[in-house]
Amino acid sequence: MKIGIASDHAGYKLKEYLKKILEKEGHQIVDLGTYNLESVDYPDYAAKLAELVSKGLVKRGILICGTGIGMSIVANKFPGIRAAVCWSEETAALSRRHNDANILCLGGRILKNEEAAKILRVWLNTEFEEGRHLRRIEKIKKIEEKMRKS
């Protein structure tokens, strides 16, 4: 799978750790930065990645900041994005099954590397259930269209 990944300085170390796992598992990675621990502004990186996912240039994305919250706020401004902050394997599974989340947001200051890796694997390997959940995703799309027109 082609996956985009980005972080701010607070998520940099976790990003690098998860990148190695993704590459070992055969995924094609598009790393949008940051590339060191120097302080940066998370909206810049969230926007770059969300745009790629929104345009279909990568299938899914991973964003990492201190908590994951700031990244999710920015990413969810883009059409077609359903960015979910996940802090457990259960929230990761539910974000995929019920919400068809296409961007995973993680907290580099909240999660240990091993926890984040488990969350990532569950998120990548859980399918969208569709059914009643598809109806809800369609409603989200209608809201996005309405907002674009106004």
Q: What domains does the chain contain, in order, with CATH numbers?
A: 2-149 (3.40.1400.10)
Q: What single-letter DSSP state applies at residue 9?
A: G
Q: What is the mean pLDDT of residues 72-82?
A: 97
Residue among 9, 65, 86, 105 flagged as catalytic: 65
Reported as a pLDDT band with limits 50, 70 and 90, residue 92 is very high
Measuring CA to CA, which residue among 98, 143, 97 is closest to residue 122? 97
Residue among 9, 27, 98, 105 flagged as catalytic: 98
pLDDT at 129 exceeding the cut of 90: no
Q: Which of 47-51, 88-92, 128-132 has the lowest mean pLDDT?
A: 128-132
Cβ-contact 57, 63 below 8 angstroms: no
Please state whether the peptide bond connecting residue 91 to the residue before it is cis, i.e. omega within 30 degrees of 0. Answer: no
Instruction: Give yes or no: 65 in active site.
Output: yes
Structure tokens at 12: 């940099």
Instruction: Give yes or no: 98 in active site.
Output: yes
Type of residue at 146: K
The pLDDT tens digits of the residues spanning 12-70 come to 999 999 999 999 999 999 999 999 999 999 999 999 999 999 999 999 999 999 999 99
